[in-house]
Amino acid sequence: MKIQAEINGEMREFESSPWRRLLDVLRTDLRLTGTKEGCGEGECGACTVIVDGRPVDSCLVAVGQIDGRSVRTVEGLADGEILHDVQDALVRFGGTQCGICTPGIAVCAAHVIEREPGASRERLRELLSGNICRCTGYQLIVDAVADAAARRLARSDD
Amino acid sequence: MLSTTDGQQNSRRARNEGSVGRSIPRVDGVAKVTGRAQYVDDLELPGMLYGATVRSQIARGVLESITLDPDYDWTDIVLATAADIAGNNVIALIENDQPALVPIGGEIQHVDEAVALLAAPDRRRAREAVQHVRVTTTPLPAVFSMEEALSGQILLHGDDNVFKSFLIRKGGDIEAAMAGADLVIAGTYRTPAQEQMYIEPQGMLAHWDERGRCHIIGSLQCPYYVHKAMKVLLDRDDDGVVIEQSVTGGGFGGKEEYPSMIAAHAAIIARKAGCPVKLIYDRDEDIAATTKRHPAVIEHRLGLYSDGTIAAIDVDVVIDGGAYVTLSPVVLSRAILHASGPYRAGHVRVRGRAVATNTPPHGAFRGFGAPQTTFAYERQMAKAARALAMDPLEFRRKNMLRLGDTTATGQTLSYSVGSAKVLDAVARVAGEQTVGSGVDADPAAVHRGRGVSFYYHGAGFTGRGEVHLSGRAAVALLPDGRFEVRSSSTDIGQGTLTIFSQIAATALGVPLDRVSIADQSTRHVPDSGPTVASRTCMVVGRVVDVAAQKLRARIADWAEGNDLADKPTATQAAMMACDMAGTASGEVCETAQYEHPPGIEWDDDTYSGAAYPVYGWAACLVDVAVDPHTYEVAVERCVHAVDVGKAIHPIIVKGQIEGGTLQALGWALLENVVYDGGRVANASMTNCIVPTFADTPELETIIVEEPYPFGPHGAKGVGEIPMDGPAAAVASAIEDALGVPFDELPVLPEVIERKLDPESAS
């Protein structure tokens, strides 16, 4: 079928079987390889993208379901060369190690702090718990996301 | 060359050279947070096909035939079998006993062993086609447990199913020593297989060039391990195989030896297909077929005097090697060398055996045998302190190895012993209370308990291993004035690119942005030895440091000869290097090689002497809460003090410690690989779980620095030690909370239920 969707702010139109995984279409057809496959069954969160303001595992979404919707991937976080607060904090705080879970975590965390910049560390852990990282023990990621949230909150107070 | 002449220059130099010890932004950080980093599955080549692996469904038997479903369309699918292998059909490692593909007439040794390969235009079709390959076998009786292996009723290896055995002895007759003790504590400890669960599944991309050279790029820890194995398998010389690492999404040991198998498969099918083939495992396949931590059964006897000093230690270690030898002898070696712990004891005996079974081979995983034996001895020490009514930290302090003490293998510790410092660090946090409040009289109350553990980990290869490896690294001044570090130590997330940049920039006296790290290709980098054994920073980092210093001296000589010797600042040094690079024809390169510390001797025949040049030391404190109804265990607090010699990059060190700590907490409480007839019964991330954000407490990390004189800036290994000890602290904390011992991992809620309430559990 013909699918129309806004991908990272840009209207895209493409042909695809509606049953293919959104993950495969992003990676193969649109060459947006920042979205990663870790498990293919919605457990690890490495393929997290935002569809119409909701974080989803793109391995569990049929591409037909995004017709007429907006999709935000890791490639859509930074503003040109200016990193999103979450990306910048993940680098500064050591919240990325091997990096394979990082795009999914960055996407989810960006969504979380944009919605709930005042979230406590405990709340952040809960909101991010759909994303698995095997390297960090999560501590440095929580440090990074908490810092990014605080910066965002400070800006909104200005 | 860079002698400073005034204060301003001094401070500038301090800024530029001071990056060692500072947490600079990771050099690969931006690429990773933006999704630009290219992992193997992100790579494509023109005309590329997708590979898939046909695997055995039985644990043991003769492979009779491989045929194709005549009703399936095979026109665009390529099939390869063992008959397509040009060289020797083995994955060369310690013993050449493991085939790349089981040949027709050959014996299958485990479920999910590779028997054939397919390549198709897309991934879906490759996987679909696998279902249409018919594999016929004649099953043979198989061995599924260490006990069955040791019974010898079915022989898989030699006349006793033992791949390797070791014996360590110190002091006199162990039975006499035990008889002379006031108290003997004996226990049997069992630890399960553990899945590395790197989030990037394994994969390789292979292609053959027009000169018949095989290029393989993929997710791996050790380019030269793959290189060595492919030369044998493909019958090529050094130049006939090029191995390159793509950005690698975690390894933890899981991408130490197994990548040679996938590289072999990708190379075989790419050759048959005549075009590039990418072979990426899906998660279920990765869990089912690749290596895991060796299951272990450890019997430990601890003889004590009534004043709390250790009289004797006797340990018997059995690990399950699985179907082929792979790395089991060296895993066993490390297991037994750590089995008596960081404790003084006059009489020690440690025996170890690695046995053959028909499960997929177990292999490298962070800690490499030490977590298993550490669990056993630290549970024993917890029981000893309890039996003696001593404070558990005080008991450790009384018996810990100190500077000048002698280990079980007769090594006198002459430097960098952080034992007291890590115990002190944890004791400060523990305050007065080092054990929990004990068993609560109210059965409906949440049960809380505290456990501690204390341990050490030898960094680098065992004995004279580093001498045999003779790891090399080079630092080159390129024609454009930049510097390039060349080593085969890969970055698998642990920060190699960043810390090697820091070490080289510091040694050269140039700004960090003048230093880059060469791509990990066997064509470009010398063999620095594998990226394993907590050796990257300590061993190879030192070699990089020496190579960079040699290059700096050479530039200084050149500058002196050209009357430029008084250019002291880092920027000027870099400009001077540019001048030299411009003058020289091509690059200027200095190579260095590992040098063994003086006085560090080891005897492989008697297994005595200095097992490791130096040890890291660690102590851990864990508080748990056990739900009285569900028996779920929550770790409420985890404090980990680790002596790393020197933190080249404190945040990277912290990340290593915390990541290892959580893998250990997971191993203790919830990670579990379940086998059924030699097959992994829970081969998916849904059922084979690892800790999430929500399972994890705030981790408290204390970095202790007891410098190692032969490490770069005093650094020792850090990668593995955090995995070794927390599991014992967790089990001891649960014992503290519930009043009954837990000597088998994982301590799942149903395990607790069976122990506390055997009737209802049935």
Phi, psi of B133 (to 5 degrees): -95, 130
Is the minimum CB–CB distance between A8 and chain B shorter than 8 Å?
Answer: no
- Residue A4 contacts B, CB cutoff 8 Å: no
Distance from CA of B395 to the nearest CA of A (A): 30
In one letter, which amino acid is B208? W
pLDDT in tens, B35-73: 999 999 999 999 999 999 999 999 999 999 999 999 999
Q: Which domain holds residue B23?
A: 7-37+465-593
> Model confidence over B155-196: pLDDT tens digits?
999 999 999 999 999 999 999 999 999 999 999 999 999 999
Alpha carbon distance B86, B88 (integer Å): 7
Q: Do the Cβ atoms of B657 and B722 come closer than 8 Å?
A: yes
Same domain, A44 and A97: no
Has residue B695 got a pLDDT over 50? yes
Find the closest chain A residue to B122 by CA distance.
Answer: A28
- Give the minimum alpha-carbon distance from B542 to chain A in angstroms, rounded to a whole number: 22
B37/A41 Cβ within 8 A: no
Residues A104 and A151 occupy one common structural domain: yes
- A54 lies in the same domain as A96: no
Same domain, A108 and A54: no
B133 and B221 within one domain: yes
Q: How confident is the model at residue B437 (pLDDT cuts 50, 70, 90)?
A: low
Give me the DSSP letters along A108-133: HHHHHHHH-TT--HHHHHHHTTTS--
Give B579's contacts (C-beta < 8 A, 6+ positions apart): B562, B564
Task: Name the residue range of residue A30's domain.
Answer: 2-76
- Could you tell me if residue B623 is inside a domain? yes
Which member of B654, B662, B685 has the closest CB to residue A39? B685
In a domain, B386, yes or no: no
Q: Both B561 and B627 in a single domain? A: no
Does residue B434 surpass a pLDDT of 70? no
A90 interfacial to chain B (CB closer than 8 Å): yes
Q: Within this chain, do residues A72 and A90 fall inside the same structural domain, yes or no?
A: no
Mean pLDDT of chain B: 94
Cα dist from B38 to A27, B43, B218, whole Å: 12, 7, 10
Pairwise CA distance, residues B437 & B435, whole Å: 7
pLDDT for residue B1: 33
Domain containing A63 — which CATH number? 3.10.20.30
Paired tokens of B685? 């991330």
Question: How many C-beta atoms lie closer than 10 Å to residue B412's C-beta?
Answer: 12
Does residue B634 form part of some domain? yes
Interface touch B493/A99, C-beta < 8 Å: yes
CB B417 within 8 A of CB B708: no
Residues A21 and A72 in one domain: yes
Say yes or no: A41 and A13 in one domain.
Answer: yes
Distance CA B350, CA B339 (A): 7
Tell me: do A71 and A115 sit in the same domain: no
Rounded distance between C-alpha atoms, residue A147 and residue A29, angstroms: 35
The CATH number of residue B227's host domain is: 3.90.1170.50
Same domain, B115 and B260: yes
Amino acid, res. B721: I
Interface with chain B: mutation pick from A138, A141, A143, A147, highest number of B CBs within 10 Å: A138
Using the 3D structure, point to which of A44, A76, A108 is the last residue of a domain: A76
Cis geometry, peptide bond prior to residue B295 (ω within 30 degrees of 0)? no
Helices B749-756 and B726-738 cross at an angle (nearest 10°) of 40
Helices (H) and strands (E) in chain A, counts: 5, 5
Residues 6+ apart with CB under 8 A from B25: A91, A92
Sequential DSSP letters for B177-211: HHHTSSEEEEEEEEE-------SS--EEEEEE-TT
What is the interface pTM, i.e. ipTM, of the complex? Answer: 0.99
| Chains A & B: contacts with CB separation below 8 Å | 171
Tell whether A30 is within 8 A of chain B (Cβ): no
- Best of A139, A140, A141, A145 to substitute, by most chain B Cβ atoms within 10 angstroms, is A139
Q: List, in order, residues 6 or more apart from A157 with CB less than 8 Å away.
A: none
Residues B628 and B730 in one domain: yes
Are residues A56 and A89 part of one domain?
no
B479 and B448 co-located in one domain: no
CA angle B323, B329, B333 (to 5 degrees): 145
Residues of chain B contacting A78 with CB distance shorter than 8 Å: 34
The answer to whether residues B750 and B658 belong to one domain is: yes
What is the spatial distance between Cα B370 and Cα B424, in angstroms, rounded to a whole number? 23
Domain limit, last residue, from A44, A59, A76: A76
Do A72 and A19 share a structural domain?
yes
Tell me: the pLDDT tens digits for B357-404?
999 999 999 999 999 999 999 999 999 999 999 999 999 999 999 999
- Tell me the C-alpha distance between A135 and B149, whole Å: 35
Give the tens place of pLDDT for each residue, B546-585: 999 999 999 888 888 877 766 556 667 777 777 777 677 6
For the purposes of burial, counting CB atoms within 10 Å of the CB of B628, is it exposed (0-12), middle (13-18) or buried (19 or more)? middle
Phi, psi of B752 (to 5 degrees): -65, -40
Joined together, the tokens standing for residue B83 give 């008959």
As given in the structure block, the two tokens for residue B618 are: 């660690």
- Residues B583 and B676 grouped into a single domain: no
Selecting from B198, B251, B693 the residue whose C-beta is nearest the C-beta of A129 gives B693
CATH number at residue A141: 1.10.150.120
Q: Using the 3D structure, point to which of B274, B294, B318 is the last residue of a domain.
A: B274
Asked whether residue A52 falls in the same domain as residue A103, the answer is no
> Would you say residue B496 lies in a domain?
yes
CB neighbourhood size of B54 (10 A) = 21
Cα B167–chain centre separation: 24
Domain annotation covers residue B214: yes
Total tally of structural domains belonging to chain B: 3
Q: What is the DSSP string of B251-301?
A: -TTTTTSTHHHHHHHHHHHHHHHTS-EEEE--HHHHHHHS--PPPEEEEEE
Give Cβ neighbours of residue A45 (< 8 Å, ≥ 6 apart). Answer: A38, A57, A101, A104, A105, A108, A130, A131, A132
Q: Are residues B450 and B524 in the same domain?
A: no
- CA atoms in the 13 A half-sphere facing the CB of B14: 6
The confidence score (pLDDT) of residue B578 equals 74
H/E element holding B634? strand B633-643
Residues B122 and B259 grouped into a single domain:
yes
B22 within a domain of the structure (yes/no): yes
Token pair belonging to B279: 């072979």
Q: Is the CB of residue A139 less than 8 Å away from at least one CB of chain B?
A: yes
For residues A101 and A74, give the distance between their C-alpha atoms in angstroms, rounded to a whole number: 11
Among the partner-chain residues A43, A92, A102, the one whose CB lies closest to the CB of B685 is: A43
CA-nearest residue of chain B to A73? B35
Least confident piece of the model among B14-28, B638-652, B718-732: B14-28
Last residue of a domain, one of B215, B244, B274: B274
Contact A97 B493 (CB under 8 A): yes
The answer to whether residue A133 neighbours chain B at the CB level (below 8 Å) is yes
Instruction: Please check whether residues B589 and B623 belong to one and the same domain.
Output: no
Residue B12 reports pLDDT greater than 60:
no
Q: According to DSSP H, which parts of B18-122 are helical?
A: 29-33
Q: Where residue B13 falls among pLDDT bands split at 50, 70, 90?
A: very low
Q: In this model, does residue B199 exceed pLDDT 80?
A: yes
∠ at Cα B492 (B487, B498), nearest 5°?
60
Q: Tell me how many domains chain A contains.
A: 2
Among the partner-chain residues B33, B494, B693, the one whose CB lies closest to the CB of A138 is B693
Q: How far lies B155's CA from each of B160, B316, B323, B444, B626, in Å?
A: 7, 22, 12, 52, 44
Domain end call among A46, A76, A106: A76
Residues B512 and B661 grouped into a single domain: no
Q: Which of B198, B248, B658 sits opposite A139 (nearest CB)?
A: B658
Nearest chain A residue to B366 by CA: give it: A135
In this structure, the answer to whether residues B408 and B471 fall within a common structural domain is: no
**Do A54 and A117 sit in the same domain of this protein?**
no
Q: Is A119 within 8 Å of chain B by CB?
A: no
